[in-house]
Structures are given as structure tokens and as C-alpha cells.
Structure 1
């Protein structure tokens, strides 16, 4: 039987289709990491009608330098101790008007949780991961105090109650009921977290 000339040819006509399908497959299955944002309420555009005077003792200053070191009230502090220090400041109740505060009532610290402000300042060279970790610790201080009061008043953690309230799948009647409770707890320890202008290292 005579042999046919030349090796058999490979049909490459469908290679473009295969490459296109592989491209779609990898686009669909690949996960792209994105930086999570921070939930912050922007200040109103209109300036306040009256100048607000804030006592220095009602401001808890936190500074992060480019090396990731923390200064709280001008003293070097470890990250693991930041939340406790912030909670002690917020829960101080120095003027005696806070009947739910369990702090030391130090007259040189914050007067009342409604007047207490945490001021965070970071260096331009501060690592993003450090910045986010410090933010989490400060927000965690608010959440722990809110959880305490929520358990005292309603027998449930504030974070769970707030998550159910913010869930769009929650029934509207339940959300209406939770709204009053969530706003009451937020009013006891309002989150006043201010970010000062970023500094530049010399």
C-alpha cells in the first residue's frame, strides 16, 4: 500500500477559540484583592453657627510615626494596650454627669463620653496596615463599651443588634424596632474619631 507524502498536519483553526475560552475562564475564576474602606461620616458642608470650645482634657491624642510606633497622650504605648487606654478615656466620666460610666472619674481626663474625642494623626510614611490596625483598635474600644451598655439594657451585643438593623433582608418592622435601640446606644458612646492633618517626617 503506497504511503501518503508528508506527516499529518495539525488543524490549528480552533486554537483562537480555545485561547479565548481559557481567557474567559481565568477572568471569571481569578480573585482580585482590594483594600477595604473605612466607614466614616463626613462633616457637614455648612460650618456650625457657633464656635465650639473643646477642652484639651476631652481630646485623646494618638500619633503614629513612620516606624509604626504609637504615642497616646504623648506617651509611648504598645498596640495591644491602645484599646484599653481608649476605653479608659471614653468611660472616665470626670464631671460626674455620666451615671453609666464605670471609669476612674479622673478630673484631669474626659468629662463625659458625649464630649470625649479621639484624635488620630499619622505620618505620611506610615504603613497602611498599621494605620488600619490602629483604626480597628480605636473603633473596637467604642464597640466594647457599646456592647456593655447594650447587654445591660437589652441583653444583646450592640454589634449583633446593629448588624441585624443594617441588614437589608431584615423585616422592616424589626428594623423600626431596632432603630431606637441602636440610636440610644450610639448616643451613650458617640463615635467621635477625628483624623488630624497628616505630618511629614524630616
Structure 2
């Protein structure tokens, strides 16, 4: 007699794991993973001397603050982000000490002595938007680019892209990018 109960056919699933593994490897190899890029900034060199605190004349520091409402204050006055580039150029290129033969500044007593002493202090609130912070950084970078480009044209009769390595170093020494960044934490 025959058994009335039939057994259901079974499917051999042993190779399914191998196929899934091969598909996984295929997608990992063929997929491009985009890497996020940050702000390209060179960190300052490590201070190797015992006393790293340097006294800085107040006139050599341009204080910029971005509050939690994304409003920009320079030296305590509200300004538009679009005006920051001009203010930074006037501050850096001031030549208040009358020691810079390539500066075109107004020699104001309220601005920097020379470009090598000019420090831009950027402070921002912990709730400042990332976009506003980047816009301010861009305006500061544009100010330095304009000053360095003008110096390269007058000194070497070249644009910065055409400078040799030694010429580029000289341009950067003439207008060093000195930026101090501080985030104010309101939770303390």
C-alpha cells in the first residue's frame, strides 16, 4: 500500500548563501562611496617653548562675533557678511606702524600695525548656523586672497597660480593667514 501522505519537495538552499554573499561583494566593489570634505585649514604649529602666551596689542586683533541669530558683529557693530571682506582688507593692510613698504592701508591707529601682526578673532555661538559660519570664513579667505593676489602681481608680475614654490612662500609671509576661532558654549 502506498502512503497517502506525500512529502513536499525540498529545495536545496545551500547555495543561496553563496549567491547572496557574491551579490553583496559585487555591490560593495561597484558602488562609489563619496567622502565628505571639510574646510581646508592648516592647524598652527605646536608651541615648543615654555611660554606660549604672547602679548598682543589690541589694535592688531579684529574681533568678529556671530551670535545665535546669525548676526555678524565686527568690533561690536552689526554689519552684513558682504561687508566683511572690505573691513578685513582694511584691517590687515593698514600699516599702522609704517613698516610695510608694500601695504596700501590708511595707517589708522585703530587697525593693525602690519599684516604679520594682524589677527582675526572669530567667535561664534553654539547655535550659529553652519552656513553663516562658512560664509564668514569665505569672506575672510577672499580678503586674504585679494591681498595675496595684489602682492603677487606687484612683486612677481604673476597671479598666485603661476608662482613658484619659493615665491608662494614669500607671498604667504607677506600676508600670513592668522585666524583664531572660538566657539562660545552657553551651557557653562
**What pairs up with 1:33-182 in 2 under 5 angstroms?**
33-47=35-49, 52-158=54-160, 160-161=161-162, 178-182=164-168
Gaps of 5+ in 1: 1-7, 163-177
With over 3 angstroms needed to count, the CA separation of the structure-2 counterparts of 1:33 and 1:124, relative to structure 1, is same
RMSD: 2.9
Does structure 1 residue 199 correspond to structure 2 residue 181? no
Instruction: Point out the structure with max Rg over C-alpha.
Output: 2
- 3-state DSSP of counterpart to 2:100: coil
Bigger shift: residues 81-90 or 35-44: 35-44
Are the counterparts in 2 of residues 161 and 182 from structure 1 also a CA contact under 8 Å? no
Deviations along 1:68-110, one digit per CA (max 9) or x if unpaired, are 2211111112222212211111111122221211122222211
Give 1:141 deviation, angstroms: 1.4
For 2:28, the equivalent position in structure 1 comes to: 27
Bigger shift: residues 119-128 or 34-43: 34-43
Gaps of 5+ in 2: 1-8
With over 3 angstroms needed to count, the CA separation of the structure-2 counterparts of 1:123 and 1:47, relative to structure 1, is farther
Aligned length: 181
Q: Distance in 2 between matches of 1:40 and 1:136?
A: 15
Does structure 1 residue 183 correspond to structure 2 residue 169? yes
With over 3 angstroms needed to count, the CA separation of the structure-2 counterparts of 1:124 and 1:47, relative to structure 1, is farther
TM norm structure 1? 0.74
Bigger shift: residues 63-72 or 47-56: 47-56
Give 1:201 deviation, angstroms: 3.3
